[in-house]
Structure formats: structure tokens, C-alpha cells
Amino acid sequence: MKKKNAPVPVAFHGIAIRAVDPDAVARRAAAMLGWPVLRRSRAEIILGDGPELFLRIVRARRGENEGLAELHLAVEELAKSRRKTVPDPLGGDSRTGELMRGVALTLREFKRAPAGAWKKKRRG
């Protein structure tokens, strides 16, 4: 039975994984997917075409296992809830909760243009 205020899913649009060697994983993923680097820092590398479809590779901390860290699901509308939504740099309002130990699920309603770091890069 569907929950009364359950969001209507549009599509999964992002995934985050933990890796001991994010640079190596990013090189392999970029070669396989043909995606450019959107953003790079010491803690993470983000590949993709923009907020609509991305792969975030985060550096695993000491003692953390490699693997799935986050799923990002675009939804038609986030209903009012006790849990507040927050504006995010991807251009949406979102809320995140723990799906299972070590794996978060972010629900995002896209509402505005993304921040500069998330805008698609022109190729060529």
C-alpha cells in the first residue's frame, strides 16, 4: 500500500560510492562512461553531465568499506513533512535519510538552475 504523501519518483539521477583510491576509480569510470570531471577536491571527484546524471566518488575514511554511499532520486514533488527540505547546489530542494547502515537516500525536487560547479561544461 502506497503511503499517502509518498513522493512520485522521476528517476535515479546520481550515485555516490566510497573508494580507497578515488583517482583510480574516477579514471576507470571516466574511460567507461566518457563523462568529464565536473568537480574535484581532496575528498571527492564528481563525474557527469550535470546534476541530472552524476557519479560522486568519495574518499573512504580509515576503517570504512568501499562501496555504495548514496543514491539520489529525483521526484516530482516533496510533500510537506516533519523533516525539512533544504535548498542544494544541484538546483533542488532535498532531504536525505539513512536507507541502510552506511547508505543514504536523497530525495530531490528540482526547482531552479544548478550552482556554477554543477553546470554542464561545454565540450570542444
Share of residues in the chain with pLDDT > 70 (%): 91
Q: Are 69 and 34 in contact (CB under 8 A)?
A: no
Distances (CA, A) of 46 to 58, 78, 81, 85, 116: 9, 25, 30, 23, 14
Q: What is the pLDDT of residue 2?
A: 63
The pLDDT value given to residue 18: 97
Task: Please state the rounded mean pLDDT for residues 99-117.
Answer: 90
In the prediction, which pLDDT does 123 show?
57
Class of domain 9-113: alpha beta
Over residues 57-68, the pLDDT tens digits come to 999 999 889 999
Average pLDDT rounded to a whole number, residues 79-88: 81
The contacts of residue 71 (CB under 8 Å, 6+ apart) are 12, 14, 15, 16, 99, 103, 104, 105, 106
Model pLDDT, residue 1: 57
Q: Which residue has the cell 547508505?
A: 103
- Would the pTM count as exceeding 0.75? yes
Cα dihedral 34, 35, 37, 42 sign: negative
Domain locations along the chain: 9-113
- Whole-angstrom Cα Rg for the chain: 15
Average pLDDT, integer, range 113-119: 82
Mean pLDDT of 90-119: 90
Residue found under cell 555504495 = 68
Q: CA 71 to CA 53: how far, in whole Å?
A: 11
Residues 6+ apart with CB under 8 A from 103: 68, 69, 70, 71
pLDDT score of 124 more than 60:
no
